[in-house]
């Protein structure tokens, strides 16, 4: 049975407990993508609340391919001073500071050019252009440059965003990837882009700690099955990752227009012990097949469910998102036995 209050070590780092604040876009940055006082305050408050590992939200590796307005940018060296202030503020209170690096691909709400592996939309009325191989190589270098900026800014590591139908995720999923070249077809070929990103960062930055976030399961036609999620996880681990962050796509409400395979009533049995749209059972399925630590995440909003995940031994670390948005001291209250004082998330 895992104990989330205990420290954990990976990639030469010691994290004081196993609670994670996962990346959640809050649109607090300045309009040019630079970190400002509002961003720093948001993350510093959660570090004060005793989160062990904080992963800063989807920072754009290419400004023209960010998620939305007031997205944090990591696309230019001029972002480094602000990012350094952010990393320092998080680490000052004992948390480890990572930052997620991301390319929006076909999933953004204001771009003039949408790109992806194929011309399959994940945002209504936005048809992406398939990337050329040369463009894939150019974007790989942008991931490398972003990771280098994160290291120079003092972050303990980066999380590569390969989930939620952003660019790398679109290549990993059979729903969005209909290519017939070296980047499509088999699971190994669909994972090739992600593998190349990981290996390119390794060549440039050596043993700099890397997390990879991926969909372990997708409730869409031709999406990632649990067996394929296991296969992808093993491929990504072999590429040189230090930790896997297992997300998923279950509730079609959050992906309008994508064709779901099941609904809450007809969902697979292995999902039913947890709240609908939780990815924790998927992490539990993948974890025995890899040797790196696994983060589970999804719909954990009270101490009761934290204890259940511990008893069920589903993951090595636990991401708590909306819980720490509602109450920055969610983790501290659990650690100190004051669960009754947690401020609940309200929809």
Identify the band that residue 346 occupies on the pLDDT scale cut at 50, 70 and 90: confident
Other residues' Cβ atoms within 10 Å of the Cβ of residue 229? 25
Cα(302)–Cα(179) distance, integer angstroms = 43
Minimum mean pLDDT among 256-260, 293-297, 312-316, 333-337: which range? Answer: 256-260
Nearest by Cα to 107 from 164, 26, 24:
164
pLDDT of residue 253: 63
Cα distance between the two ends of the chain = 32
Q: Which residue has the higher pLDDT, 113 or 97?
A: 97
Look at the block and give the residue holding tokens 């503020």: 89
HEC sequence for 237-285: HHHCCCEEEEEEECCHHHCCCCCCCCCCCCCCHHHCCCCCCCCHHHHHH
Query: 69's torsion region: left (phi>0), alpha (psi -120 to 50) or beta?
Result: beta
Distance CA 177, CA 44 (A): 38
pLDDT tens-digit readout, 258-299: 888 988 899 999 999 999 989 999 999 999 999 999 999 999
Q: Which residues are catalytic?
A: 166
Predicted pLDDT at 111 = 66
- Residue 100 CA, distance from chain mean position: 7
Q: Check whether 218 has a pLDDT greater than 70.
A: yes
How much is the pTM?
0.97
Instruction: Evaluate if residue 347 carries a pLDDT over 80.
Output: no
Task: Tell me the fold of 8-341.
Answer: TIM Barrel (3.20.20)
Element (H, E) at 219: none
């Amino acid at each position: 049975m895992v104990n989330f209050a205990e420290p954990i070590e990976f990639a030469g780092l010691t994290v004081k407990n196993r609670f994670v604040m996962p990346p959640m876009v809050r649109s607090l940055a300045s309009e040019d993508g630079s970190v400002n006082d509002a961003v720093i305050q948001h993350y510093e408050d959660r570090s004060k609340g005793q989160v062990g590992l904080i992963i800063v939200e989807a920072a754009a590796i290419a400004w023209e391919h960010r998620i939305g307005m007031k997205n944090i940018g990591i696309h230019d060296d001029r972002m480094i001073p602000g990012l350094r202030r952010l990393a320092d503020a998080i680490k000052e209170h004992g948390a480890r500071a990572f930052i997620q690096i991301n390319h929006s691909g076909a999933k953004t709400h204001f771009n003039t050019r949408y790109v992806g592996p194929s011309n399959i939309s994940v945002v209504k009325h936005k048809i992406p252009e398939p990337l050329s191989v040369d463009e894939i190589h150019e974007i790989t270098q942008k991931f490398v440059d972003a990771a280098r900026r994160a290291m120079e800014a003092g972050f303990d590591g980066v999380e590569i965003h390969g989930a939620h139908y952003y660019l790398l995720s679109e290549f990993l999923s059979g729903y969005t990837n209909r290519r017939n070249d070296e980047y499509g077809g088999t699971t190994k070929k669909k994972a090739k882009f992600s593998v190349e990103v990981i290996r390119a960062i390794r060549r440039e930055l050596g043993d700099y700690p890397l997390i990879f976030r991926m969909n372990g399961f997708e409730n869409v036609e031709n999406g990632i099955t649990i067996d394929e999620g296991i296969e992808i996880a093993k491929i990504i681990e072999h590429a040189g990752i230090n930790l896997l962050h297992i997300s998923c796509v279950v509730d079609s409400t959050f992906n309008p227009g994508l064709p779901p395979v099941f609904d809450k009533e007809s969902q697979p049995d292995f999902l039913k012990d947890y709240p609908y749209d939780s990815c924790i059972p998927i992490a539990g399925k993948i974890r025995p097949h890899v040797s790196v630590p696994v983060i589970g995440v999804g719909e954990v909003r009270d101490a009761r469910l934290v204890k259940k995940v511990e008893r069920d031994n589903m993951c090595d670390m636990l991401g708590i998102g909306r819980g720490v948005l509602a109450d920055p001291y969610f983790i501290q209250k659990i650690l100190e036995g004051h669960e009754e004082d947690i401020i609940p998330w309200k929809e």
